[in-house]
Amino acid sequence: MLRRALPARPEARRILIGTLLSAVGRGLTLPFLFIYLTDVRGLSDPRAGLVIGWFGAVTLALSPLGGTLIDRFGARRVVLPCLVIEAVGTGSLALVDSTASAFGVMTLIAVGSSAIWSGQNTILASLTGDGERQRVFGLNFALLNLGIGVGGLISGAVVDVARPVTFQAIYLLDALSYLMPGLILLTLPHVGHRLARAATEATRPAGGYLTVLRDRPFRRLVIFGLVLTTCGYAQIEVGFAAYSVRVVEVSPRVVAWALAGNTVMIVLSQLLVIRRMEGRSRTGALAAVGAVFAAAWLVLGAAGVIGTGNALLAALGVVACSAIFGFGETMLSPVMPALTNALATDELRGRYNAMSSMIFGISGVIGPVTAGPLIGAAHGRLWVAVVVGGCLTASVLALSLRRLLTAGQDGRVAAVVREPEPAHA
């Protein structure tokens, strides 16, 4: 299964190695930003939520510009400087000592991250054919989570809120990890340039983002993604961590182990899920993701009810929630980018991928800002009800998307395999 999932072009394989290396650094810090800002740096819960929400707002504001620059100049010229900016910003988190400095550092990080995701997806799409793209995006996500899991295991064993230097160390290591994919991209001089058919003004469709927004199936996909990520991914750093620590009353180390359980689930099941999904409806898979995410939050809610009455069972509930969530991710990760790029044209591929990444920016604003107050109400039960309801609503939206797609776009027929076009003009 691994051999089948590997992309045909060696350049794409090296891009995947960069994903793995940078993900290790991301895993060092992923579950701890909210805890770091509150328990180590002394910010109040609402202020920490606003800081993280501000990051999402800046990312959202800059993402459209990133997509335009990718289409106009090529992903390479956008991704490389963004990786450097991201590295500087992440390393600067080690020096945060006030609300103002936290806002400043998160702004810098947002500038760097605004185009990295869409740029890397555009590069990977340009290096893969239609028949292999869904498998490769799934493998990319599995490697991403493998790296995050390794980093989470390391940080879970060393971080201590009583020793701020442990948090400073993991943020510095995370900064170094962002340079790895940049160094690999530098060794591939012909990768990431403007796509051939976008090279002349005459062939570029007018309208830019207006053309993208007029694409009704893609517009529906964006709405689905907004609802799902707001009630799913956007809750991991704040909602999941805060509920686990404040309501379930587990230690930050249990949160780290829960993220490791998430990774184990993804790494063990991703290739099997990719294989089972071939030739099956993509919208059906997206609907199943919403149901699985809802089930994960219900398990976490049950752990909150148990609480300190049975500390071991409550901790297992936190870990189980993360693992179930991971299974849903194995279905979402190959389908969402593959469907986005199935709807995109080469001339506007950067904008399509930027719009897809903006989903995380919008949800990154809403999720952190609302999680704190919702968790504080009714002992967290209101938060559980909202995120479960939102995930089930996303399932309904996914099913409504099917009638807007062709059978090929929906993955219900085998895609015709064709070689990817050169990634440079």
pLDDT, one tens digit per residue, over 159-217 is 888 888 999 999 999 999 999 999 999 999 988 887 645 444 444 444 688 888 889 99
Answer for the pair 5, 136: CB distance below 8 angstroms, yes or no.
yes
Give the number of other Cβ atoms within 10 Å of residue 10's Cβ: 11
| pLDDT band for position 293 (cuts 50, 70, 90) | very high
Token pair, residue 72, equals 């106009």
Q: What is the mean pLDDT of residues 23-52?
A: 86
Residue-range domain boundaries for the chain: 10-197+210-404
pLDDT confidence bin for 91, thresholds 50/70/90: very high
Q: What is the pLDDT of residues 357-384, one digit of tens each?
A: 888 778 877 887 788 778 777 678 899 9
Question: Is-contact 249 317, C-beta < 8 A?
Answer: no
Q: Are 357 and 63 in contact (CB under 8 A)?
A: yes
Answer CATH for 10-197+210-404 from 1.10.760.10, 1.20.1250.20, 3.40.50.300, 3.90.1150.10: 1.20.1250.20
The torsion angle over the Cα atoms of residues 15, 17, 23 and 24, rounded to 10 degrees, is -160
Average pLDDT score over residue span 257-262:
82
**Element spanning 211, H or E:** helix 209-213
